[in-house]
Structure 1
Amino acid sequence: MPWGNPVYNEAAKKVAEGFSGPNNGEATYQIIQWNNFYQTFSSAIASKTGPAVSTGAGFQAFQFEQQGQIAYADNAIEKLKKNGQFDDFLPGVLDPFKSDKGYVAVPWQLDMRVFWHRKSLFEKAGVAVPTDWASLLEAGKKLKSIGAVGMAIGSGAGNNVGKHLTVAMMINNGGGIFTKDGQLDVMNDRNVEATEYLLELVSNGIIDPGSVSYTLDNINAMWKDKKAAFGMYSTGVPVRVGDTSGDIAVASPITGPHGDKATLMFSNNIMMYKNTPSQETSEDFLVYYLGQIKELWRQKVMNALPVFKSITELAEFKEDADNVKITNEYVPIAKSFAAQGNTLNANLSILDGGQGLDQFTQTVFTGKTDAKSALKTLETALQSAMKK
């Protein structure tokens, strides 16, 4: 998948094609665009012209596992243990991929949701960077008084960060959409409290009601034009919006009203398929590729965090103080869509890709609802989709 600009594609292609396995095993590299990617994979797999190994969406491996198309990665994990790479994984990043049948996939990068702030706007408003929900509300009011946005976010076309914020705030409050054993738990008290808090941000104009239609381009423009003071986004915002002056920086994680501290994380992974010329060669390629991906961070073509400690210790990685801070402060507290549980599954693709969470987020951002009504509608949508 194109995880970055064309420079990334070129670097990843070079790494992949450098593979030389036993019995003259070789690898070819094909780019699959994100537009309609799932249909592209599904059609190729059905016609037995699919890949032997691929990256893809965070929950894609679990969807194809349900169809009996995924080759479990246990043998590859054993090879990683033998060559020392297994011990290089950051704590906890591999565990969510272990099912009762085996490892469904292997993580290779982390897509984090973190809070960013513009220092000069906080200085202008005379307010400190928020550390908890109460100070975020108060800071947002003061920032609004100088014409700045206290929570830059959106849920318009192609902008998923808004719905990620709604779930992130739930898990930052000790809640989440699922129980620890993977059952729907939408209406729990912590989720209600988090949704009420988001509605309070909307009612105070800290989340602009217009956010319901803001695209990523709108959000980028807000940061670039010095309108956004605080907001949730992925990594690399200064480069993304073209302001590397140091004025835009990562803020530390905020604490929920009950003392909880967490954020949302997507563990992007590499999966192997049963339709392969050689399962052993697929495993060897996976081990090889994981051993070489440090080059992608060394060449600075990645807009995500690595899963290996050794990559976080590269000089090229340490040059980005924001990424270092995210690794040190956000990664240890990060949770997935599976929260309150930990193990990933195919239902998470319904939460991530279905209409229920989008509609919930847009309803909340308009402010024309109450928390329990909005959550009940989300619960009904998820129940219906997960029965199909």
Structure 2
Amino acid sequence: MAGADISRRTFAGVGLGAVAALGLAACSSSGGAGGGSKGPLKFWNMPWGSPEFTTLDQQITQAYKPKSGLPAAQYRSVQWANFTQTFSTAVASNTGPAVSSGGGTQAFEFAKQGKIAYADDLLESWKSNGLYDDFVPGILDTMKTDKGYVAVPYQVDLRILWYRKSLLAKAGVSVPTDWQSHMDACAALKKIGVYGLGLSGGATGNAFQAFVGWMINNGGGIFDEEQKPNLVTSANIEALDYIQELIRKGYADPRSNAYTTANTEAQWKAGKFGMQVEAPGLASEIGGTVGPDMAVGEPLTSPSGQKGCLSFPNNIMMYTNTPSQKDSEAFLTYYYKNMAPLWTKHTGVALPVLKSIAATPEFQSDANLAKIASAWQPVAKTWAAPGGAALFANVAYVDSTNPMTIFGQNVIALKPPKTVLQTLQSTLVANIKG
């Protein structure tokens, strides 16, 4: 995948500070359907990939030819810096978009404020044009709430296992397929001076995402069927026990708790990292002579016999403030029918949610992305695991937040797993009630 791999810490979810900002903006709103009710249909999108992504995305938007009586689409690329304030202010004052992407839980938060137009009618209309059946299995469920579909899935980011082909070959081990063979590979890599458990535990690192992924892999996770934190389980304890066994045996860099993603990328380039759970764009981020030597591994089978990883389904939402709901739905129908070049031209956007895009020769030409789509995406689960598939507003408390960073650092520091989980449990319960 070409282009920069934007850190999940930058945009993955609205997060605690953003939730507060959204709520504050909502309180200051005088309500009503104002700014977007006339004029062009505003489509705001985020820079999900390389600069080529935004250029092509704007071209696709501007090529929209609405039916007689419907407005043309107006494009805006919203930068990640202060994006939550940009949206909260605009939506509260009814000067925002009719359609947009944004943070992963943004639609759920705005829906609580009555600002979201649910996508049920749109998705129903797609049953007659093939779009509805084109979504990868299960992805629509992530947007379903008790009031309807809060948004439409757009693309999916995942945390998958990467390895360096030459280093595993030098260590004399095969690509791992379960936790035991993963540990064996780590042991073999250590003998040649390479860390098999790459981790970035610092303030801008992603180690906590990898740990939640291991928990999901073992049938665990953070939230139960009632969408409440339920962390202190045998599945989660077993997963963290496994991670800490790897750390105790010296399979992780001792400096991991201070590492940023930039530090771990440097270790890959230096030949010191042989495996790591990270984003789909890792190999392209590394680049040079090392990037082509990196490959996506197999989804590991856990001691409980399960497979799984953490995924982040990002979405496109419609707002109640629009020239008309008919306009919003007409534009999104056009957009989803014509967005394939964002992937076939390798602009750096995450995994597609449409099977037809993943099946194109252009997408399949990237063996790593094809492997992620075919092997990892089907077993991926969201932050809502193990209780369900659908996201919800309180997921914002765990998506790239300070309590999660502390959780990851506590694991790396070898604090007892039960204690680590109890600490996070208490923090989340307090934050959600607060």
Give the TM bin, normalised by the shorter chain: over 0.9
Partner of 1:347: 394
> Does residue 37 in structure 1 map to residue 83 in structure 2?
yes
Distance 1:342 1:92 in 2: 8
Answer whether contact 1:210 1:366 (CA < 8 A) is retained: no
Partner of 1:18: 63
Distance 2:160 2:341 in 1: 25
Deviation track 1:36-83 (CA, whole Å, cap 9, x = no partner) reads 211221111112111111111211111111121111011211221121
How much has 1:242 moved relative to structure 2? 0.8
Answer whether contact 1:202 1:366 (CA < 8 A) is retained: no
User: 1:58 corresponds to which letter in structure 2?
Assistant: G
Distance 2:319 2:128 in 1: 23
Distance 1:91 1:324 in 2: 16
Partner of 1:218: 263
Alignment of 1:152-231 (within 5 A): 152-159=198-205, 161-231=206-276
Distance 2:314 2:70 in 1: 29
Partner of 1:337: 383
| Secondary structure, counterpart of 1:297 in structure 2 | helix
Distance 2:49 2:196 in 1: 29
Alignment of 1:228-307 (within 5 A): 228-243=273-288, 246-307=292-353
| Secondary structure, counterpart of 1:115 in structure 2 | strand
User: 2:198 corresponds to which letter in structure 1?
Assistant: A
How much has 1:216 moved relative to structure 2? 1.4
Deviation track 1:292-342 (CA, whole Å, cap 9, x = no partner) reads 110111211134111111101211111011111111111111110000121
Distance 2:352 2:136 in 1: 9
How much has 1:225 moved relative to structure 2? 2.2
Q: How many residues are treated as equivalent by the alignment?
A: 386
Distance 1:137 1:353 in 2: 27
How much has 1:20 moved relative to structure 2? 2.4
Alignment of 1:66-81 (within 5 A): 66-81=112-127
Partner of 1:358: 405
Alignment of 1:126-145 (within 5 A): 126-145=172-191
| Secondary structure, counterpart of 1:68 in structure 2 | coil
Deviation track 1:63-111 (CA, whole Å, cap 9, x = no partner) reads 1111211110112112211211111111111112111111100001111
User: 2:54 corresponds to which letter in structure 1?
Assistant: N
Distance 1:157 1:374 in 2: 18
Partner of 1:108: 154
How much has 1:183 moved relative to structure 2? 2.2
Deviation track 1:99-134 (CA, whole Å, cap 9, x = no partner) reads 111110000111111101001111111222222112
Answer whether contact 2:155 2:315 (CA < 8 A) is retained: yes
How much has 1:255 moved relative to structure 2? 0.9
| Secondary structure, counterpart of 1:272 in structure 2 | strand
Structure 2 portions without partners, runs of 5+: 1-45
Answer whether contact 1:209 1:365 (CA < 8 A) is retained: no
- Give the 4+ runs in structure 1 shifted more than 6 A: none
How much has 1:243 moved relative to structure 2? 3.8
User: 1:25 corresponds to which letter in structure 2?
Assistant: P
Distance 1:371 1:207 in 2: 17
Distance 2:370 2:50 in 1: 22
User: 2:209 corresponds to which letter in structure 1?
Assistant: H
User: 1:183 corresponds to which letter in structure 2?
Assistant: K
User: 2:432 corresponds to which letter in structure 1?
Assistant: M
Deviation track 1:182-204 (CA, whole Å, cap 9, x = no partner) reads 22211111111111111112212
Distance 1:6 1:16 in 2: 16
How much has 1:181 moved relative to structure 2? 3.2
User: 2:393 corresponds to which letter in structure 1?
Assistant: A
| Secondary structure, counterpart of 2:76 in structure 1 | coil
Distance 1:51 1:157 in 2: 32
Structure 1 portions without partners, runs of 5+: none
What is the TM-score with the length of structure 2 in the denominator?
Answer: 0.86
Answer whether contact 1:79 1:287 (CA < 8 A) is retained: no
Partner of 1:150: 196
Instruction: Single out whichever of 41-50 and 372-381 deviates more from structure 2.
Output: 41-50
How much has 1:207 moved relative to structure 2? 2.2
Distance 1:110 1:203 in 2: 33
User: 1:238 corresponds to which letter in structure 2?
Assistant: A
Distance 2:255 2:100 in 1: 38
Q: CA RMSD in A?
A: 1.4
Distance 1:319 1:151 in 2: 28
Partner of 1:82: 128
User: 2:56 corresponds to which letter in structure 1?
Assistant: A
Answer whether contact 1:176 1:186 (CA < 8 A) is retained: yes
Answer whether contact 1:195 1:371 (CA < 8 A) is retained: yes
Answer whether contact 1:116 1:251 (CA < 8 A) is retained: yes
